[in-house]
Structure 1
Amino acid sequence: MFTLALVQTDAYLGEKRRNLERLQTFCHTAKKEGAQLICFPELATTGYAPTLLGPEYHALSETRQGETNRMFSALATELGVIIVCGFIERDMQTDAVYNAAGVWLPGQESWLGVFRKMHLIQEEKRWFTPGQQLRVFDTPLGRIGGMICYDAGFPEVARSLTLKQADSLLLLSAWPEKDKDIWYINGPCRALENTIYLAAVNRWGREGDCQLFGGSQILNPRGQVMARATEHAEQILYHTIDKQVQSAIRHTLPYLADRQPENYR
C-alpha cells in the first residue's frame, strides 16, 4: 500500500528552467501530504504544443547528463520519494528525440530508466521518433508500467505492460478538451480489462488555441474512478494504492486468468 500524487500542472511553453522550479515546489508540497510516488504529466518540463514548440524540441531535449535528470535525481533522494515526469529526451548515440518520461528513485545518481511514447499523433510525427519498447520498472513500491497519452488508445499497450507483471500503470498526458470524452472512456476501459490500478495525470492550461483540460483520475481495477481532479485549475490529486484490493478484484473478475490467446487470431 502506498500514497500516489498526480500533479496536474500548467507549463510555461519552452521555459524549461522556470518549469523545473515549479515542479520542484510541487514535489515538496506532495511530500508534506504523505506522497510516496509523485507523477507529472506529459512534457511537463517544457510544455507540449508541437505546432508551436516543435522547431524547439531538439534544443530543449536532454540526455542523461541534462538538468532534468540532475534535479529529479537529487530531489528524489532529498525527499525519499519516487518521481515520474514527462520530458523531451535525446538519445546520446543516435541524436533521435523522444517524447519520454523518466523514473527517479531515492539514493540513485541518475534515473532508473525512461519510457518513450510509442504511438505518435498528428504533428508529433514531424518531430519525435516513436518509442519501440514497453517498459516496466522495479521500484520499492512495486512494478510500475508507463504509457504516454495516445498510447492509452491502443489496448495492446496496457495489456502488454500488465502481462510483463506491472502492479500498476501510469498514464502521462497532454490531452485536449475537445477529446475529453475519449479520455474518460480510455482510462476505465484499460483499468478494467487488465484489472489493474491506472493513474492518469493530464496537463491543464492553454497552449495557443488548444485547451488542455486536466481531469486527472485514479481508477481502481474495476475501472471505477477513485479520485478525479478538476477541469478548471492545477491540482495535486492523492490516493492510496492497495495491492490487496487488486488481488481481491482479480479473484472475482478473472479476465487475465481466463484469457485464450491461442484463439485470438
Structure 2
Amino acid sequence: MVRLAAAAAHFTRDVGFDLDRIKMIVSHARDAGVALLALPDGALGGYLTDLRRPDEECLPPLLEPNGDEVRSVIDIAGEMVVCLGYSELGSDEGAAPVRYDAAVCLSGDGILGRHRKVHIPAGVAPLFQPGDGFAAFDTPLGRMGLLIDHDKTFPEAARTLAVDGAETIACLSAWPTSLTNRAPRMAQDRQARLFDLYDQARAAENQVVWLSSNQSGRHGALHFLGRAKIVGPGGEILARTWSKGGLAVAEVDLPGIVGAARSVLHHLSERRPSTYGPW
C-alpha cells in the first residue's frame, strides 16, 4: 500500500515564498505518510493573471529546468516523489528564448520525468511554446506520466501515456472558474463540472490512478477552483479537497487497484487502432 496526495494551494510570483509553501506542504504530506505528491501548475512562480488579455509585463518568472529553484525542491523532496509545474526557459533551436508551461517529477535522487504542456488555450497561445509529445517514465512507485491542465481536455494525451505504460498519471493544473457566465456558487460553475468530469473520465477510460492538483484562491482576474483529487481506475473519487487549499490523500495498492480494474475489461488491449483512422 502507498499513500498518494494531490494539493490544492495558492502560489505567487515570489519564488522564495513558493519554496517555503512547498516545504510546508511536503512536510504535512510526509507527516501523513505520503510517497507521491502532486503540486499544482505554477507552484514555482504562480500562473497568469488573465487568460483573455494576459499582462505580458506580469508573467511568471522563467526558470531554468535544472536551475536553483528546481534543485531546492529536490532537496525538499527527500524520499518523496513530488510533481510540480513552473514556467520554463527554453530555446527554439538556438534562437531567442521561449517560454514553456512545464512540469517536472522529482525526488531527492534527482529528476525522474518532465513534460511540456502541449495544448495551449487560444488566449495565451502567443505566450507559450507548445510541447511536442507525451512520454511515461519510471519512478520508485511504478511507471507514470505527467499532464498540464488543458492537456486533460484531449483524450489522446492521457491515452498516449497509458499506452506507454503509465499506470499513474498526475495532471497539474491552474484551472479557474468560467471566464464568462460565472456561476454564483463555485460548485455550480461550468468549469468546476468540466474539471471533475475530465479527471474521472480520463482515469476510467485508461484504467489508471489519476492525481489532479490545482491552484486555489485568486490571482488577478482568475479565481482558481482548487478541487484537488485522487481518482481510481474506475473513475471513482478516492479523496478530494474543495475550493480552499488542502491535501487530498488516498492509500492504495497501486499495481493491485489497476490490475483489478483491468482483470475483466482491459481497455488498452481491447482497442482497435486500425479502425480509428488518422488522429
Partner of 1:161: 161
Q: TM-score, normalised by structure 1?
A: 0.92
Q: Once the two structures are superposed, what CA deviation does each residue of 1:47-80 show, in whole Å capped at 9, x if it has no partner? A: 212535543447x111134222120121223xx1
Q: Of Structure 1 and Structure 2, which has the larger fraction of its residues in helix?
A: 1
The count of corresponding residues between Structure 1 and Structure 2 is 258
1:134 and 2:145 correspond: no
Instruction: Classify the secondary structure of the residue corresponding to 1:120.
Output: coil
Q: Secondary structure at the match of 2:200?
A: helix
Tell me, yes or no, if structure 1 residue 222 matches structure 2 residue 234: yes
**Residues 169-184 of structure 1: pairs in structure 2 closer than 5 A:** 169-178=169-178, 179-184=191-196
RMSD, aligned α-carbons = 1.7
Q: Tell whether 2:251 aligns with 1:252.
A: no
| Aligned residue identity for 1:7 | A
- Would the aligned equivalents of 1:217 and 1:225 in 2 still touch at CA under 8 Å? yes
Q: Secondary structure at the match of 1:251?
A: coil
Q: Secondary structure at the match of 2:263?
A: helix
Compute the TM-score of the two structures, normalised by the length of structure 2.
Answer: 0.87
Q: 2:246 aligns with which of 235, 246, 256?
A: 235
Q: Which residue does the alignment assign to 1:115?
A: 115
In 2, the alpha carbon distance for the partners of 1:31 and 1:224 equals 25
Q: Is the 8 A contact 2:240 2:249 kept in 1?
A: no
- 1:75 equivalent in structure 2: 76
Aligned-pair distance for 1:252?
A: 2.2
For residues 176 and 64 of structure 1, the distance between their equivalents in structure 2, rounded to whole angstroms, comes to: 26
Q: Identify the residue that residue 152 of structure 1 maps to in structure 2.
A: 152
Aligned to 2:183: none
Asked if structure 2 preserves the Cα contact closer than 8 Å seen for 1:57 and 1:127, the reply is: no
2:10 alignment partner, SS class: coil
Q: Secondary structure at the match of 2:57?
A: helix
Structure 2: stretches of 5+ with no match in the other structure: 179-190
Counterpart secondary structure, 1:146? strand
Contact 2:203 2:232 in 1 (8 A): yes
Identity of matched residues, %: 28
Per-residue deviation at 1:105? 2.0
Contact 1:83–1:105 (CA<8 Å) still a contact in 2?
yes
| Alignment pair present for 1:192 and 2:194 | no
**3-state secondary structure, aligned to 1:170:** strand
